[in-house]
Amino acid sequence: MSKRSFSHWLYVVPALVILAFFLVYPAVHTIVLSLGDKTGEGFAGFSNYRFAFTNRTMQSALRNNLLWVAVFTAGTVGLGLAMAVLLDRVKYERIAKAIIFLPMAVSFVGSGVIWKFVYSFRPASVAQTGLLNGIVVALGGQPIGWLIERPWINNFALIFVGIWIWTGFCMVVLSATYKGIPKSLLESARLDGATEWQVFWRITFPLMRSTIAVAATMMLITVLKIFDVVYVMTNGNFGTEVIANRMYKEMFQFKNFGRASAIAVVLLLAIIPVMIFNLKRFREQEAIR
Amino acid sequence: MSEKIVRALTRSPLHIAIIAICLVWMLPSVGLLVSSFRPAVDVTNTGWWSVFQTPFKFTQFTLANYVEVITDQGMGRAFVNSLYITIPATVIPILIAAFAAYAFAWMKFRGRNILFIVVVGLLVVPLQMTLIPILRIYNRLGLSGSFLGIWLAHTGYGLPFAIYLFRNYFGGLPRDLFESAFIDGASRLKVFFKIVAPLSVPAIASIAIFQFLWVWNDLLVALIYLGGTADVAPMTLQVSNLVGYLGQDWHLLTAAAFVSMALPLAVFFALQRFFVRGILAGSVKG
């Protein structure tokens, strides 16, 4: 064994070097930059952080991110769970699952084009080409600027695109756990006269709780970093700004590295508690192995 | 017989709900597909759903949009660039991650668990945070705008997730296999190629699909490290440029978007089984 005692480093070191360069170094560098001024040469103390929490656009971005966190997480996990349970009862489960999972394979740019087209808005005098306004007008309504009407309609329109992309992921994860629950357990409850609703809340839900937590933490990490959907569809205009898009703008449009870095650090700090929860779970699993 | 009808009736709300959701999930993409085959005049003047009034009138469809985006709008070139970026950026991280995960799962050394937790913890670093520092170094090394630079960058961003999944999967392989192989005097490298790799084909396949889709669908990394020049731009970049300057030319945008989606959709349908299994390896054990 002594001959082998150092060879493990040969396996790990390539990965560690690349990770150190592409993730660790930039993270540390960003923390340093966040205390600096616009160009990153002078020292600015915590003024960038003050900006991150007091600037009006930033506050709106923080608010919107909170809305995303609540609606997106509840939407993806809730709908994914509903689909996992309901699809188990129908014969066309495979096809339905493929349909709901499909958006995962499409790029955010592709999804952006798809949904911009769905939300497309034209004056009432000409025919609508967007599906949603086509329906609204057919029902006798006035066309709506889905991506312009602030603050609720456009933010919900964007969040729905996110839900459309990620529900399939939650569905697949939750469905695997649901199929692992012994059907005899559910059957005997039904025979004892429990309604479907009771079976779900008293038996299914408690048994799936840990997987639901996993899916929810994954969605939380995703939604905190949400960028592409907003970038492609509105670029944060009309009051739809989110933290990650704001960071991108500070960095590449305004070239203010201090502010951009401070926003990045805020984002990092928001994600860390979620990650700790995840790692705790990993340790518990390892203890069983 | 009547019992069957009652059963079907009581279950109809279930079917209606499921079919409604499937329609909501499908219709936007159907709209994209249908529009991409319609002439420009029709796309601007009527909704795509109006084709269903005369579904068998084939003259209302055309391939002209595809011809134009592939030749004049640079989507053909972009397709080749995308392949050239994606294939190495999928293979390299898988190799490096598999070796590291093998060590994390089956070699004993000091600090192993801490190192692994740090690696997984790096999942929290937002990609956007890394762009400026890396770009500065890339500029100094002359790596920006080069394919090598973007291959390495995608390797770095893909590693934490790949190592995490591989570690979970390798850790689940039976212990006896390793012990007997080592007693027989097999080297670690030999055990990796003769035992671990063949047994891990599903995990390798699922990570390959994930990484492939992630790189293929990436816009941001390409935008920053490659720059926007047409001779290196992948399809996502090209489509987003088209969104910028074609604006309301939906007949071209829809065709371009569909060209960029064709290969990932094919991969997804062909390898769906592995894809699903890969997600499960990462989240639910056993």
CA A89 to chain CA centroid, Å, is 28
Helix intervals (H) in chain A:
8-19, 25-34, 47-54, 56-87, 93-101, 108-118, 131-138, 152-180, 183-191, 196-199, 205-224, 228-233, 243-252, 257-288
Contact call for residues B278 and B206 (beta carbons, < 8 A):
yes
The verdict on residue A228 lying in a domain is: no
Residues of A in contact with B18 (CB under 8 A): 83, 86-87, 90, 96
Residue A162 contacts B where some CB pair is shorter than 8 Å? no
Q: Say what the pLDDT of residue B189 is.
A: 87
For residue A218, being part of any structural domain is answered with no
Q: Is residue B204 pLDDT above 50, yes or no?
A: yes
Q: Look at residue A287 in the predicted model and tell me its pLDDT.
A: 64
Categorize the per-residue pLDDT at B281 as very low, low, confident or very high, splitting at 50, 70 and 90.
low
Mean pLDDT to the nearest integer, B50-59: 77
User: Of B101, B251, B121, nearest to B171 (Cα)?
Assistant: B101
Residue type, A143: P
pLDDT string in tens for chain A (289-residue length): 444 567 788 899 999 999 999 999 999 998 888 898 877 777 878 888 988 888 888 899 999 999 999 999 999 999 999 999 999 888 888 889 889 988 988 888 889 889 988 998 888 888 888 899 988 988 988 888 888 887 889 999 999 999 999 999 899 888 888 888 888 888 899 999 888 889 999 999 998 888 888 788 888 888 988 888 898 888 888 989 999 899 888 888 888 888 888 998 888 888 888 877 777 776 676 665 5
Q: Where residue A153 sits, what CATH number does that domain have?
A: 1.10.3720.10
- Which residue, B205, B222, B197, is CA-closest to B267? B205
Residue A97 resides in a domain: yes
What is the per-residue pLDDT for A288? Answer: 58
Q: Does residue A225 fall inside a structural domain?
A: no
Task: Measure the CA–CA gap between B286 and B284, rounded to whole angstroms.
Answer: 7
| Chain B residues closer than 8 Å to A106 by CB | 29, 217, 261, 264-265
Count other C-beta atoms under 10 Å from residue A146's C-beta.
23
Answer whether A18 sits within 8 Å of B96, measured CB to CB: yes
Tell me, yes or no, whether A120 lies in a domain. Answer: yes
Per CB-CB distance under 8 Å, the chain B contacts of A176 are: 280, 284
Assembly ipTM: 0.84
- Report whether pLDDT(B285) > 50: no
Q: 3-state DSSP call for residue B77? A: helix
Provide the pLDDT for residue B282.
Answer: 53
A255 assigned to some structural domain: no
**A135 part of contact set with chain B, CB < 8 Å:** no
The encoded tokens of residue A48 equal 């960038």
What is the pLDDT confidence band of residue B284, given thresholds at 50, 70 and 90?
very low
Q: What percent of chain B has pLDDT over 70?
A: 95
Please report the pLDDT score of residue B18 as a whole number: 92
Q: Which residues 80-109 of B are in CB contact (within 8 Å) with A?
A: 96-97, 99-100, 102-104, 107, 109
With contacts defined as CB-CB under 8 Å, which chain B residues touch A27?
A: 125, 129-130
Cβ pairs bridging A and B (under 8 Å): 258
B119-159 tens-digit pLDDT: 888 887 888 888 888 988 999 998 888 899 999 999 999 99
Distance (Å, whole) CA B227 – CA B139: 12
pLDDT in tens, B218-244: 888 998 898 767 788 898 888 888 887
Residue (of B252, B222, B196, B229) closest to B82 by Cα position: B222
Cα–Cα separations (whole angstroms), residue B164 to A217, B115, B148, B281 = 16, 12, 25, 10
Residue A261 lies in a domain: no
Q: Flag whether pLDDT at B16 surpasses 50.
A: yes
**Partner residue facing B264 (CB), from A106, A127, A282:** A106
Say whether residue A234 is in contact with chain B using an 8 A CB cutoff: no
Q: How many helices (H) and strands (E) does chain B have?
A: 14, 0
Identity at A289, one-letter amino acid code: R
Q: Which burial class, exposed, middle or buried, applies to B282 when counting CB atoms under 10 A from its CB (0-12, 13-18, 19+)?
A: buried
The verdict on residue A176 lying in a domain is yes
Domain count, chain A: 1
Burial class of residue A186, CB neighbours in 10 A (0-12, 13-18, 19+): middle
pLDDT of residue B110: 85
pLDDT digits over B175-196, tens only? 888 888 888 888 888 889 988 9
Chain-wide mean pLDDT for chain A?
Answer: 87
Residue linked to tokens 């996110």: A162
The pLDDT of residue B90 is 95
Kindly give, in sequence order, each residue whose CB lies less than 8 Å from that of residue A28, ignoring residues fewer than 6 positions away: none
Cβ atoms of A51 and A254 closer than 8 Å: no
State in Å, rounded, how far the first CA of chain A is from the last one.
24
Q: In terms of residue numbers, what domain contains A192?
A: 61-213
Interchain CB distance below 8 Å, A11 and B121: no
Task: Give B16: exposed, middle or buried? Use CB within 10 Å, 0-12, 13-18, 19+.
Answer: exposed
Residue A226: closest CA among A196, A252, A204, A248: A248
Q: What is the pLDDT of residue B275?
A: 67
Give the whole-angstrom CA distance, residue A237 versus residue A209: 38
The DSSP code sequence of A193-236 is T--HHHHIIIIIHHHHHHHHHHHHHHHHHHHHT--HHHHHHTTT
Q: Single out the residue of B15, B60, B71, B20 nearest to residue B38, CA to CA.
A: B60
The pLDDT tens digits of the residues spanning A133-151 come to 988 988 988 888 888 887 8
* Position B163 pLDDT exceeds 60: yes
Please say whether the dihedral angle defined by the alpha carbons of residues B253, B256, B261 and B262, taken in this order, is positive or negative. positive
Q: Which residues of A touch B126 (CB under 8 A)?
A: 225, 244, 247, 264, 267-268, 271
Q: How far is CA A262 from CA A3, A248, B121, B140, B170, in A?
A: 48, 12, 20, 25, 38
Contacts of the segment A75-79: beta carbons below 8 A, 24+ positions apart: A75/A159, A75/A160, A75/A163, A75/A167, A76/A162, A76/A163, A76/A166, A76/A167, A76/A169, A76/A170, A76/A215, A76/A219, A77/A170, A77/A174, A77/A212, A77/A215, A77/A216, A77/A219, A79/A163, A79/A167, A79/A170, A79/A171, A79/B21
Top residue of A87, A109, A118, A282 to mutate, by most chain B CBs within 10 Å, is A109
Contacts with A41 (C-beta within 8 Å, 6 or more apart), sequence order? none
